[in-house]
Structure 1
Amino acid sequence: MDEAECQEIIDACRKNNVKLSIGYRMQHEPNTQTVMQFAKDKPYGAIERIDAVAAYSGGENRSPDNWRMRADMGGGAMYDMGVYPLNGSRYAAGEEPVAVSGRHEITHPEAFTEVDSTTHFTLEFPSGAVAECMTSFVKPGNKLEVTCAEGSYYLRPMSNYNGVQGATSDGRKLDKPIANQQAAQMDDDARAILQDMPVMVPGEEGLRDIRIVQAIFKSAREDGKRIEL
């Protein structure tokens, strides 16, 4: 839930010579991998803006005992769903943010007594690209849109268990099929173990996200103050 816990896990795995992988299934999904490659190749010019949302409605109807409603168990929209637009913005930009700001949209306070129901956050990247992101338990949304100097592309939906697809501004379809994201993830991790290769999504990737999550919460507590990372 914080940087210290992440580092403790990373250190324990390193000390015992075992591999540590974060369960970010999207990075094993082929259309997402195309977006990640676009970040490297820049086929549509410099990346200028990213819009990322992972959210759903109806969370206010959960039992207060559900882990998603409890702060001590890592509940709340940002911890649960917010990592999708956060991690998605990072791999879509192909660089690490240098500053962040965030705010909580207060809805259903009678249900969300401990955790955030909706969080908006902005990431600023060294290149000048900006990501505008939202995550929520009470309103729907599922997209990753990238605007570049010479075109654009998107995934809608961007975080579903299946059916992730999109297109580019020049008509290219991003619709490579995959039978099962988790199966691909487990195969990739097993291959890394069997062949003694680096895992695709190492523990440090989760640490980077948690560091930013903590900065978003700090910004929200301080009225949306810009936090440099």
Structure 2
Amino acid sequence: MKNTRREFLQKVGVSAVALQLASVTGWASEKQTAQAYDGPVLRVAILGLGNYAARVADAMQGCTKAKLVGLISGTPAKIEKWSAKYNIPAKNCYNYGNFDQIKSNPDIDAVYVITPNGTHHDFIIRTAKAGKHAISEKPMAISVKQGEAMIAACKQAGVKLLVGYRMHFEPKTLEVIRMRKEGEFGKILFFQGLCGFKIGDPKQWRLNKELAGGGSMMDIGIYAINGARYMTGEEPVWVTAQETKTDPVKFKEGVDETIQFQFGFPSGATASCLSTYNMNGLDKFFLNGEHGYAEMQPSTNYGPIMGHTNQGELTQPVTVHQTVQMDEFAEIIFHDKQPPVPVDGHEAVKDLKIISAIYEAAKTGKKVSMSV
């Protein structure tokens, strides 16, 4: 049976789908009734029409500030199916070969690259050269060097580079961040992030080093890395890590199965995290401070996110993450809105630097000092 991160994240929240939809519908209706939007709409083309792209496309049907207007794929059958489903005109449909012609299309503002990690670099640079705003799924690239080149290309072209950090807009997550910023937990002492699932099909791209850039760390571990940073509000100054591999046939050289990793922060706070492709049901964040705590489980799946603090249950509204993300991206691109947690290329490169340090620490067995 084939399992992917996206299928896992979807299944974790499946028992509460009815609750989620009811909450989202009610909240969205209330929001729209309160204030109708009449500003500019971000016109987006999706590049790479896989499972997660389908989730984004469906979610965008609920956006008020962003709209799906274009498709880019190497599979003609997908273009035909998607263009019919989402009413996309033929003039806004491209393949990977003629994609650069998007430069001459005034009806597309941005391209959202949702392809295997190892292909993000080239597609984002082509997007920038075409003069379109660039959105990349995470991880943004498979190396720091690639990530920095993507930032440079977008800067030179005068376009924005954003990354699909959907949790940076999730209400319960933002409430915990607010509480931490306002000192409600006191001095932060410790963070724990557990992220993992048992991966299926050994032939999938996530187990191909060239396409994935690694293994579980690049796919699911990045949630714990990024979570450790936004939950504590600090950047790590040292990293230690230990790798465990039980199936070297499935998890070939350079494709990690399970890595435990630890961070130290400037304040003295520490973090202990786990990234794995060999254990199901791991989706938990825990933040501890001198005067309180926050626990979230599920912490990063598609919803509903659930959690509580020492003050009680987190009751912020359930949202469709990708809908909120795309509307917020429109605000960032058109109005230079600054989100509570950054979603730009520099934020992504910080994660890539930490991933590199984790791999180095796991390989050498030594504590790696770092600065992002």
Aligned to 2:225: 86
Aligned to 2:246: 107
8 A Cα contact 1:51 1:146, kept in partner: yes
- 1:90-111: CA deviation from partner (whole Å, max 9, x where unpaired): 0011011100111111122221
Residue identity opposite 1:67 in structure 2 = W
Query: C-alpha displacement at 1:198, in angstroms?
Result: 4.5
More displaced stretch, 36-45 vs 48-57 = 36-45
Query: C-alpha displacement at 1:36, in angstroms?
Result: 1.8
Give distance in 1, aligned partners of 2:331 and 2:307.
Answer: 29
Alpha-carbon distance change, 164 to 173 in structure 1, aligned in 2, over 3 angstroms = same
8 A Cα contact 2:361 2:367, kept in partner: yes
Unaligned runs of 5+ in 2: 1-141
More displaced stretch, 146-155 vs 206-215 = 146-155
Q: For residues 19-30 of structure 1, what are the structure 2 equivalents within 5 Å?
A: 19-30=160-171
Aligned to 2:273: 133
Aligned-pair RMSD on alpha carbons?
Answer: 1.3
- 1:178-226: CA deviation from partner (whole Å, max 9, x where unpaired): 3310010000001122224346411100000000000000011102x10
> TM-score normalised to the size of structure 2?
0.58
- 1:117-151: CA deviation from partner (whole Å, max 9, x where unpaired): 11110011000110100011111211000111112
Give distance in 2, aligned partners of 1:218 and 1:47.
Answer: 27
Query: C-alpha displacement at 1:37, in angstroms?
Result: 1.8
- Whether 1:185 and 2:291 are equivalent positions in the alignment is no
More displaced stretch, 112-121 vs 213-222 = 112-121
Aligned to 2:300: 159
Aligned to 1:201: 343
8 A Cα contact 1:164 1:175, kept in partner: no
Aligned to 1:10: 151
8 A Cα contact 2:305 2:318, kept in partner: no
> TM-score normalised to the size of structure 1?
0.94
Give distance in 1, aligned partners of 2:176 and 2:195.
Answer: 17
Secondary structure at 2:247 match in 1: coil
8 A Cα contact 1:97 1:123, kept in partner: yes
Aligned to 2:115: none
- Whether 1:45 and 2:208 are equivalent positions in the alignment is no
Unaligned runs of 5+ in 1: none
Give distance in 1, aligned partners of 2:319 and 2:189.
Answer: 33
Which consecutive segments of 4 or more residues in structure 1 shift more than 4 A?
A: none
Q: For residues 68-87 of structure 1, what are the structure 2 equivalents within 5 Å?
A: 68-73=206-211, 74-87=213-226
Give distance in 1, aligned partners of 2:170 and 2:364.
Answer: 37
8 A Cα contact 1:39 1:91, kept in partner: no
- Higher normalized contact order (CA 8 Å, seq sep 6+, divided by chain length): 1
- 1:141-178: CA deviation from partner (whole Å, max 9, x where unpaired): 110001111121111111110111100123x2113123
Q: Percent identity?
A: 34
Query: Which of 30, 55, 62 in structure 1 is aligned with 2:196?
Result: 55
8 A Cα contact 2:180 2:186, kept in partner: no
Secondary structure at 2:161 match in 1: coil
Give distance in 2, aligned partners of 1:38 and 1:222.
Answer: 38
- 1:30-70: CA deviation from partner (whole Å, max 9, x where unpaired): 1111122233222021110101011112x1x3133x11101
Bigger helix fraction: 2
